[in-house]
Chains A and B, each alone.
Chain A
Amino acid sequence: MKRAPRHSYPGINLGEDHASAHKATEVVTFGFWVFLMSDLVYFGLMFAIYITMIDAQAGGPGPHELFDLKSIFAQTLILLTSSLTVGLAMLALKYNLPRARVVFWFGVTLALGLSFLALEIRDFMNMAEQGGVPQRSGFLSAFYGLVPLHGLHVASGCLWLIVLGIQLKVFGLTDLLMSRMVRLALFWHFLDLIWIGIITIVYFGGLAYG
């Protein structure tokens, strides 16, 4: 077994090919993991709130009337694929593949992220048409407190990708940008993880117990 490099962090490491960037990334990536832990607590609590409020429908529309599983299936496929593409971008970065390859996979990730958001917003609008607005019941408040929070994270991820694209154009592939890409990839995988929680607890759980 190869000995682990002196500087290391959980997740894809930039590795010895990018020694200076790798070293600079260690502390800040560890910090980012700690931030993600804290963010995870936010989501964990919102899940808990949702679970306690599944029954609080107050005579309003519930999961069976409102949830569109076909659209959720599409969103899941899109988001999981985007996790794959961001992983491919990181591998291209790590193994010094042509810059265009890195940019391409990040671009695909952005496109998938935006289409996910488009589908999600369409779902919310459909729900609102059937009276599924957060003001209607505790259950719907909990739903709209959790799912759009994830959507907001995806939107920030997209904004981050765009800013990173511009910075790549301005600065070239500097150590700082590589380090930021490592964190962006972590963030994107984190969004995926939360989404898995959302489909199982919010959608399947809602349909099973609501």
Chain B
Amino acid sequence: MNSSDTGFFGRLTWDAFPIAGLIQNPSANEIIANAAAAIVIIGVVAVVGLLTWFRLWGPLWRDWLTSADHKKIGIMYIVFAIVMLARGVLEGVVMRAQQAAGPGDGFLAPEHFAELFSTHGTIMIFFVAVPFVFGLANFLVPLMIGARDVAFPVMNQIGLGLTVSAGMMLMVSLVVGEFSTGGWTAYPPYTGAAFNPGVGPDYWIWAIVVSGVGTTLTGINFAVTIYKLRAPGMKFMRLPMYCWTIICSSILIVFAMPPLGVAALLLAADRYLDFHFFTNDLGGNMMNYANLFWLFGHPEVYLLVLPAYGIYSEVFATFSAKRLYGYNSLVIATMSIAIMSFTVWLHHFFTMGQSALINAVFGIATMLIAIPTGVKVYDWMATLYRGRIRFSVPMLYSLSFLMLFVIGGLSGVVLANPTVDYQVHNTLFLVAHFHNVLLPGVLFGLLAAYNYWFPKAFGFRLNEFWGRVSVFCWTVGFLLTFMPLYFVGLMGMPRRSFSWEDPSFHPYMITAVIGALVITCGLFSILIQLWVSIRDRDKSCAPIGDPWDGRTLEWSIPSPPPPYNFAIIPIVTDRDDFAATKERGAAYPTPEVYEDIEMPRNTGIGFAFCVLSGVWMFALVWWIWWLAALMTIAMILAFIIWSFDTSTEIIIPAEEVRKEHEAWLELAHSTKAVDRDHESTPENLGLARPDMEAVT
């Protein structure tokens, strides 16, 4: 079909729906595809039904979708990430099952398997890790630096809208048409129009472009927020470690998202307009794509893992009741990693024809990153040393990280050697390696953060028992799933194979699928934990806001925090300012004067961009040109109309702030503080009694 002579619905026809495939050719493969589509449709219908039944459309619109409050935007990011995580994990299980069903072809069609690994990678990186990391940053950064909001609240909302609409495209691709089969990296020429004329790569391209814009906006926002909005006295070297990692991540985003945007847009130019950037003919050069993609791709893994390092730093310090060891060295190490992450991208394609010298340079640069990372690991261990350690859920995740991540790091150093890489390139060894750094590295950090800061967001603690079950399942499941892949990788099994013949792989494949099921239990125990915690919230509420004897500013305010965060902007005099204040006995002071507070007003622009960009992407994927043009104009107009709206602030009167704040102070002063032995009992209302001299 030619792109210029298409009808009203572009190339969208009845055949694009998976049910058509099921009718023509009933098979296990088609049943699975239809079941996935059905889950999406049932999920949407169920959500719409429940919202209508409980009459929640109004509150949803007023309190969430139009809110410019950074805390709510952060929570929406995380909800979205968890929904996508569920899909990503289930896809992983199906893939493990497919390989365990060998030797031979298993039960999936090869294209279907390829779609699975493509969506799994795309979802886990762009729609789980990124939104989870920046959802947390949204929630935490202003609270930690003593600010009332981020620098650009509306831009923040637009960033969320774009990320969600891009993620929705992956959901839509389950129901209408198919997704790319080109892996999360989508290398041309395979994903070019000559080899892949279908809609799959187009879904990938537009989801990546739009979510990339959203992420860039978020990165700019957080760089500016931390540079410009710190509370008085919050010097750079007093910032919580987590904020340092967010600055570094934001800088990485500002510089690393453009290469991804360029790569995806040039691929789009090749596919839509018959350009020749990456084609095989007329002077195209796919190596440009490989370089562009990994110029983004390598900093990307650090922009995900650095915030996780920040989370671990906070968790280790709090649950050891100690100041973080080696703060300065951690700051330097974080910055070094951020800078070095731009100098190693070529190690993703050692085998693609560079000279030995260039490979050696990039191999050495890669190994050098192990040095600052090693510094961090030792700093964390030294933080634990002689601390009063509490084995709470966040701490368990962090300890699990500390042990497992080192293995992943070491296998990374092995891979950094180009001669070794030639042997294991494109095998499951590599898959084991990056899952080893991304699961214990990033995901465990995010789950630790979820358990650690949940009481801050909602005012009650999460259930400890189910939290422990989830730590156990994720850790054991991870080991069972990915350790065997190291071995089969070394034995030569290529990654992304839907079929294999060598019987010696079989035991490893069986072990891996068992591990995948244990991980699924981990996922479900997180959902059960949430359910149980909401049910029993009266027994675990912590409204005063400091259930863990925290050290940084976010613990010095009520849980959940009021919209304006701080009734009075704190004056910071120390690193770990709240811990120092508690030590001096000066916590929960009564302010003398209150001021009117200006906060951003609700706006629908973020939601408008979410819908408009979603329809725009769909129109482009299906060549519905009139609709794409209409949506382009609509987005420009929406932006212009929004720029005419000049009343973007509301005032919260000082009297209202005083009333709320004094009620909370009254509660804090009349509550009995609990020591750390009673941290997980109902007595813990969020007022901590430090039971150990702070070790400095």
Contact = CB atoms under 8 A, between A and B. Distances in A.
Interface in B270-295: 270, 273-277, 279, 281-285, 288, 292, 295
Contact of A135 (B219, B275, B643): B275
Given A141-B269, A176-B646, A38 B285 contact: no
A136 B282 CA distance: 7
A38 B255 contact: yes
A174 to B, nearest CB: 7
Chain B: interface size category: 35 or more
B283 A53 contact: yes
A184 B258 CA distance: 22
Contacts of B273: 134-135
A108 to B, nearest CB: 23
Contacts of B276: 56, 58, 134-135, 137-138, 140-141
Nearest to A139: B283
B266 interface: yes
B220 A137 contact: no
B224 A34 contact: yes
B151 interface: yes
A135 B283 CA distance: 11
Interface in B185-242: 216, 219-221, 223-224, 227-229
Interface string A19-60: 000000011101100110111011001100100110111101
A89 to B, nearest CB: 19
A139 B643 CA distance: 39
Contacts of B275: 134-135, 141, 144-145
A49 B644 CA distance: 39
A30 B254 CA distance: 13
Given A38-B254, A38-B255, A58-B282, A167 B644 contact: yes
B259 interface: yes
Contact of A34 (B223, B636, B643): B223
Contacts of A38: 216, 219-220, 254-255, 257-258
Interface string A114-154: 00000000000000000000111111111011000000000
B88 interface: no
B644 A170 contact: yes
A28 B219 CA distance: 14
A135 B219 CA distance: 35
Interface string A152-179: 0000000100010001001100101000
Contacts of B227: 30
B643 A31 contact: no
Contacts of A174: 646
A184 to B, nearest CB: 12
Contact of A26 (B216, B228, B292): B228
Closest 10 CB pairs of A and B: A56-B283, A138-B283, A41-B258, A141-B275, A58-B283, A31-B224, A58-B282, A135-B274, A138-B276, A42-B258
22 contacts: A28-B152, A31-B152, A34-B220, A38-B216, A38-B219, A38-B220, A38-B257, A38-B258, A42-B262, A45-B258, A45-B259, A49-B277, A49-B288, A52-B288, A57-B283, A58-B282, A135-B276, A138-B284, A141-B269, A144-B275, A159-B636, A167-B643
